[in-house]
Structure 1
Amino acid sequence: MSKGRVTVVDIAHAAGVSKSTVSLVLQGSPLVNEATRAKVNAVIRDLGYVYNRAAANLRQTASSKIIGIVVNDLTNSFFAELAVGVDMVVQSAGYVQFLSNTGESIDRQREVIASMREHGISGLIISPARGTEAADFKPLVASGIPVVLTVRNISGAKVSSLLSDNRMGAAQAVAHLAGLGHRRIAFLGGFPDTAVFEDRLKGFRDGLAAAGLPFAEELIVGSAPSRAGGVEAIERAMLIAERPTAALCFNDAVAFGVCDGLRARRMEPGADFAVIGFDDVIEAKTAVPALTTVNVDPQGMGRRAAQLLMKQINAGKAEPEAIVGAVRLVVRQSCGAGMKNQQWRNAV
């Protein structure tokens, strides 16, 4: 078999049929009997071949000018900002961006990636859906398509990654809350089966340990990493016998939901309960109260991911690189900093 991309000739050789027969199968022609069609399709699956419809229609020999970007939750404004950052770079390089949302569905993710490959994408930037495994990237790696993972990493994927220093950011946030006098600090929101949750929880525990505070399992309340998830998380946290007085939220979307949930209980974020988010999306600065959060710079992350991808495309090879971006705590009003004579106490 030829090295690099799998070709129609490779399929024909492995299936023991002619190149023209393989082409007819790819085109869905009724001229091929079902037994032969099944055999060819089995080989196509085994070798990870994807029919490039754009190439077939246009007879192109040059690579496309299309970059695929796949995210797990486009309802979270973080990913919209990330996509804007990607577009800034790819547009100036003469490429267009194909954006797709998986909604955390593995099946949907596989469908959109297959469709993007059919249209001849030159590279892929992806924040993978929950449950994605390293094996899901094998066909892309085998075909030489550069891939950059963002936000979520997949161990053993053998592709490039651009992540944030989640652990450090969470530790900084907890240190700040402890410095304000809080002793019962919760960690709210996020799916516990994701690497990002794991890293931020480790940072949360680091911050507690550094402040000499005990870790309490009941103060870890997982939920969907969304505004609705934040409302649910704070409602559950308020049922704890010894309530928290502050929370580090998995992301800004959860933090906004926590603020909504507090107000529903006639509690004011920043005055009656301290809230810190994670990401620093555009709305964080204009929220009321303005959200204290760990700045990840979503647009900047998108630009860096696109620059890394373009570097690999231009080099003609996908040498995996792992980059971890720095973060910083941005202190605003939602954590209660700067309030005079604020006495934090456990709610009963």
Structure 2
Amino acid sequence: MSKGRVTVVDIARAAGVSKSTVSLVLQASPLVNEATRARVNAAIRDLGYVYNRGAANLRQSASSRIIGIVVNDLTNSFFAELAVGMDMVLQSAGYVQFLSNSAESLDRQRQVIASMREHGISGLILSPARGTEAADLKPLTASGVPVVAVVRNVVGAKVSTLFSDNHAGAKDAVRHLISLGHRRIAFLGGIANTTVFAERTQGWRDALAEAGLEAPEELAIASTAARAGGVAAVERALSLPVPPTAALCFNDAAAFGVCDGLRAKGKEPGHDFAVVGFDDVIEAETAVPALTTVSVDPQGMGRRAAQMLLKQINAGRVEPEAVVSSVRLVVRESCGAPRADGQRRISA
């Protein structure tokens, strides 16, 4: 069998039929008898062949000029900004993007990736749905399609990766809250069974340990990584026998929800309770109060991911690389940091 992409010739050889017969099966022609059709389809399944509609229609083109982009939650503005950053690079390079939202569904993710493969994508940028495994990406990597995984890792997958420094960002944020006098600091929001949650909560724990403070599990409250999740998480935190006075939130979306939940309980974020987010989406600066957050620069991250993918496409070979992008704490009003007159807004 030929190495790299599985071809019609490979299918024909495995099924013991002619190349033209395989083509007829792929086109659902009634001219092929059922026994032969079943044999060809069995070979297609065994070899992992995907009918490339783009190649079938554009055989004179050396490249489809199509890039697939699949993200796990387009309702979160972080991913919208990430996609904008990718578009800036890919469009200028002459590529068309197919963008899809998996909504954390593995089935949906598999379907859209299969569809993108049929259209002959030149590469894929993926923010994986929860539970994605290396086997889910093997059909792409085995056929030589370059893949860049962003935000989340896929253990064992031979793909390029681009993540923010989640541990360092969380640690810096908690150190800042400790410098403001807080001693009981919660971590609110996020799905517990993800690498991002694990890295950010570890940064939270390490910063507290560094200051000689405890990080009790009751203060690490998981929920959805969305506004509603932030509301639910802060409600639980405030109901504790000894509630926290500050929180690092899994992301900005959860942080906005924490601010909503605080107001529902008659507390003002930045005055009665310190709130820090993670991402620095566009709305963070214009929120009321303006959100203190760990800046990941989502648009910049999107640009970097696109550049990594184009590098592999232009090289004509897949050479996975791992990049961890730096982050920085942006201090605004929601944490109750000292005002211009030197007075703190929150009495921790």
TM over 0.5: yes
SS at match of 2:192: coil
Q: Could you tell me which amino acid in structure 1 is paired with residue 49 of structure 2?
A: Y
Structure 2 equivalent of residue 84 of structure 1: 84
Deviation at residue 342 of structure 1 after TM alignment: 4.3
| Superposed counterparts of 1:1-348, under 5 Å | 1-339=1-339, 340-342=343-345, 344-345=347-348
The superposition leaves residues 150-178 of structure 1 with CA deviations (integer Å, 9 ceiling, x where unpaired) of 00011110100010000000000110011
- Counterparts of 2:38 and 2:269 in 1: how far apart (Å)? 61
SS at match of 2:4: coil
- Counterparts of 2:86 and 2:344 in 1: how far apart (Å)? 45
Deviation at residue 47 of structure 1 after TM alignment: 1.8
- Counterparts of 1:53 and 1:310 in 2: how far apart (Å)? 22
After superposition, the Cα gap between the structure-2 partners of 1:12 and 1:186, relative to the gap in structure 1 and judged at 3 Å, is same
After superposition, the Cα gap between the structure-2 partners of 1:34 and 1:240, relative to the gap in structure 1 and judged at 3 Å, is farther
Contact between 2:126 and 2:148, CA under 8 Å: does it hold in 1? yes
Q: Could you tell me which amino acid in structure 1 is paired with residue 325 of structure 2?
A: G
After superposition, the Cα gap between the structure-2 partners of 1:208 and 1:52, relative to the gap in structure 1 and judged at 3 Å, is same
Deviation at residue 244 of structure 1 after TM alignment: 0.7
The superposition leaves residues 126-165 of structure 1 with CA deviations (integer Å, 9 ceiling, x where unpaired) of 1000000011111111111110000001111010001000
- Counterparts of 1:154 and 1:120 in 2: how far apart (Å)? 23
Q: Could you tell me which amino acid in structure 2 is paired with residue 170 of structure 1?
A: A
Deviation at residue 32 of structure 1 after TM alignment: 2.7
Deviation at residue 18 of structure 1 after TM alignment: 1.9
The superposition leaves residues 247-301 of structure 1 with CA deviations (integer Å, 9 ceiling, x where unpaired) of 0000000000100111111110010110000000000000000000000000000
SS at match of 2:187: strand
Deviation at residue 341 of structure 1 after TM alignment: 4.9
Q: Could you tell me which amino acid in structure 2 is paired with residue 344 of structure 1?
A: S
After superposition, the Cα gap between the structure-2 partners of 1:23 and 1:233, relative to the gap in structure 1 and judged at 3 Å, is same
- Counterparts of 2:73 and 2:299 in 1: how far apart (Å)? 16
SS at match of 1:171: helix
- Counterparts of 1:38 and 1:265 in 2: how far apart (Å)? 64
- Counterparts of 1:331 and 1:77 in 2: how far apart (Å)? 20
Q: Could you tell me which amino acid in structure 2 is paired with residue 77 of structure 1?
A: S
SS at match of 2:161: strand
- Counterparts of 2:344 and 2:166 in 1: how far apart (Å)? 32
Q: Could you tell me which amino acid in structure 2 is paired with residue 26 of structure 1?
A: L
The superposition leaves residues 53-100 of structure 1 with CA deviations (integer Å, 9 ceiling, x where unpaired) of 121123234111111110000000001101110011011111111110
Deviation at residue 28 of structure 1 after TM alignment: 1.8
- Counterparts of 2:174 and 2:160 in 1: how far apart (Å)? 30
Contact between 2:182 and 2:245, CA under 8 Å: does it hold in 1? yes
Q: Could you tell me which amino acid in structure 2 is paired with residue 283 of structure 1?
A: E
- Unaligned 5+ segments in structure 1 are none
- Counterparts of 2:184 and 2:65 in 1: how far apart (Å)? 52
The superposition leaves residues 299-338 of structure 1 with CA deviations (integer Å, 9 ceiling, x where unpaired) of 0000000000000000001100000000010000000001
The superposition leaves residues 211-237 of structure 1 with CA deviations (integer Å, 9 ceiling, x where unpaired) of 111110100110110111111111111
Identity %, equivalent residues: 76
Contact between 2:128 and 2:152, CA under 8 Å: does it hold in 1? yes
- Counterparts of 1:128 and 1:219 in 2: how far apart (Å)? 27
Contact between 2:337 and 2:345, CA under 8 Å: does it hold in 1? no
Q: Could you tell me which amino acid in structure 1 is paired with residue 67 of structure 2?
A: I
- Counterparts of 1:329 and 1:221 in 2: how far apart (Å)? 22
- Counterparts of 1:63 and 1:254 in 2: how far apart (Å)? 41
Deviation at residue 343 of structure 1 after TM alignment: 5.2
Contact between 2:336 and 2:346, CA under 8 Å: does it hold in 1? no
- Counterparts of 1:171 and 1:280 in 2: how far apart (Å)? 16
- TM-score with structure 1 length normalisation? 0.97
- Counterparts of 1:280 and 1:63 in 2: how far apart (Å)? 36
- Counterparts of 1:268 and 1:247 in 2: how far apart (Å)? 13
After superposition, the Cα gap between the structure-2 partners of 1:303 and 1:341, relative to the gap in structure 1 and judged at 3 Å, is closer
- Counterparts of 1:250 and 1:42 in 2: how far apart (Å)? 46
After superposition, the Cα gap between the structure-2 partners of 1:16 and 1:173, relative to the gap in structure 1 and judged at 3 Å, is same
- Unaligned 5+ segments in structure 2 are none
SS at match of 1:59: coil
Deviation at residue 24 of structure 1 after TM alignment: 1.7
- TM-score with structure 2 length normalisation? 0.97
